[in-house]
Structure 1
Amino acid sequence: MSTPPPPFSDMFAAIIDGTPYMQAIGAYYIGKSQDGISMGLAYRDDLVGDPQSGVLAGGVLTAMLDHGCGLAVWDRLDEFKPIATLDLRIDYMRAAKPGEDLIITAKCYKLTRSIGFVRAFAYEDTATDPIAAAQAAFIITSAPTKVPPL
C-alpha cells in the first residue's frame, strides 16, 4: 500500500517564505484550523504607514489579506493550480493597534470548477474584533501543457 501524499497546506510556510514581498515584510505561516488558514506578521517600525500614530500601512494589510485568501483557495483545492485574484473587497473597521502583531485568517467557503470564494479577517488578538474583513474571488486555471507558437 502506498502512503497518501501530505496535504498541500504542508507547503504553505515554504510558499510564504518563497514569495519576495511576503519575505520582505516578514509574513509567516501560523497554521490551519476549522476557521481556515492563518498567517502572522510581527510589528515593525518600517511597516508603519503613519509615523505619528504608529499604525501599519494599509498596503501591508491588503497584501497579507490577498495572500492569505489565495492560500485558502489552495487549501480547499489541496493541490497547486495557478490562481489569480479576480476581486478583493476590504472593509476597514478600525486602525491596527500600534506595536501589536497582525494575524490574518482566511477560509475558502465555496469552490466551483473555476472560481474560489474566500472570506478573511485581520486582527491582533481575536477575529471577533477585526481590523478589517475581506471578501475575495480567485480564478482557478490549469497550467498550459505547451507554450503556443508565436
Structure 2
Amino acid sequence: MSDTFLTTLLPQLASGAAHTHALGFVFEGIVGDRVRLRTPWRPDLVGDPETDVIAGGLVTAMLDHVGGLAVWTALGRYEPIATLDLRVDYMRPARPRVDLLSEARCYRATRTIGFVRAWAFEDDPADPVAAAQATYVISSDGGRGPGANLKKADRA
C-alpha cells in the first residue's frame, strides 16, 4: 500500500464528499488492518432532542462509510465500490453529547467482493453502540474496460 494512498487519498475519501463533510466525519487513522472515523457530537446530528443522542441513521451511514474505507485499505488502492449488503445491530443508545467513533476491518477481499465487520462506540470497541456486517462490490475491471466482467451475451 502506498504512503500517498494512506496519507493523502484515504483521508480525502473519509471526509471529502459533500455528505461525509456535512456529517462531520473525521479520519482518525489506521491501526493494523482497522480504519477509524470519528463523528463529533453536534446538536444537528441528534435523533431525539429529549436525550441528545446521535441519530441512528448517522450511525448506519458512519458504519457503511468506514466499511468502504476498510475495503480500500485492504486493497491498498482506490477501486470503485458499492454497498451490496449491510446489516446493523443496534445494541444500546449512544451516550448523550459524546463523540462517536467507528472502526472497520475488511477480513476478506476477493476480486469482486469485500467482506467487512464494523462497530460504533464512544471509548471502548468492546462496548459497541452498534455492530455491522457488510459486503461491498468491487467494480475493478483490471484495466480491461467497461463491461469486461460481463459474459459476451450480456454486453450487447
Q: TM-score normalised to the size of structure 2?
A: 0.87
Aligned equivalent of 2:6: 9
- C-alpha separation between the residues in 1 aligned to 2:140 and 2:18? 24
| Residues 7 and 78 in structure 1, CA contact (< 8 A), matched pair in contact too | no
User: Which amino acid in structure 1 is aligned with residue 82 of structure 2?
Assistant: A
- C-alpha separation between the residues in 1 aligned to 2:33 and 2:100? 16
Q: 2:58 aligns with which of 39, 57, 60?
A: 60
User: Which amino acid in structure 2 is aligned with residue 119 of structure 1?
Assistant: R
Secondary structure at the aligned position of 1:46 is classed as helix
Shift >3 Å, 4+ stretches:
143-147
User: Unaligned regions of 5+ residues in structure 1, if any?
Assistant: none
Aligned equivalent of 1:145: 145
Aligned equivalent of 1:50: 48
Q: Using the TM superposition, give the Cα deviation of residue 35 of structure 1 relative to its aligned residue in structure 2, in angstroms.
A: 5.2
Count, aligned residues: 145
| Residues 14 and 69 in structure 2, CA contact (< 8 A), matched pair in contact too | no
Q: Within the alignment, does 1:88 sit opposite 2:90 as a pair?
A: no
Aligned equivalent of 2:17: 19
Identity rate, percent:
47
- C-alpha separation between the residues in 1 aligned to 2:110 and 2:16? 28
- C-alpha separation between the residues in 2 aligned to 1:14 and 1:6? 14
Q: Deviations over 1:32-82 (max 9, x none)?
A: 012500000100010000001111111111110000000000000001111
| Residues 52 and 97 in structure 2, CA contact (< 8 A), matched pair in contact too | yes
- C-alpha separation between the residues in 2 aligned to 1:75 and 1:31? 11
Q: Using the TM superposition, give the Cα deviation of residue 123 of structure 1 relative to its aligned residue in structure 2, in angstroms.
A: 0.1
Output aligned runs, 1:100-111, within 5 Å.
100-111=98-109
User: Which amino acid in structure 1 is aligned with residue 97 of structure 2?
Assistant: G
- C-alpha separation between the residues in 1 aligned to 2:15 and 2:107? 25
Q: Using the TM superposition, give the Cα deviation of residue 146 of structure 1 relative to its aligned residue in structure 2, in angstroms.
A: 5.8
- C-alpha separation between the residues in 2 aligned to 1:43 and 1:5? 32
Secondary structure at the aligned position of 2:3 is classed as coil
Secondary structure at the aligned position of 1:9 is classed as helix
Aligned equivalent of 2:132: 134
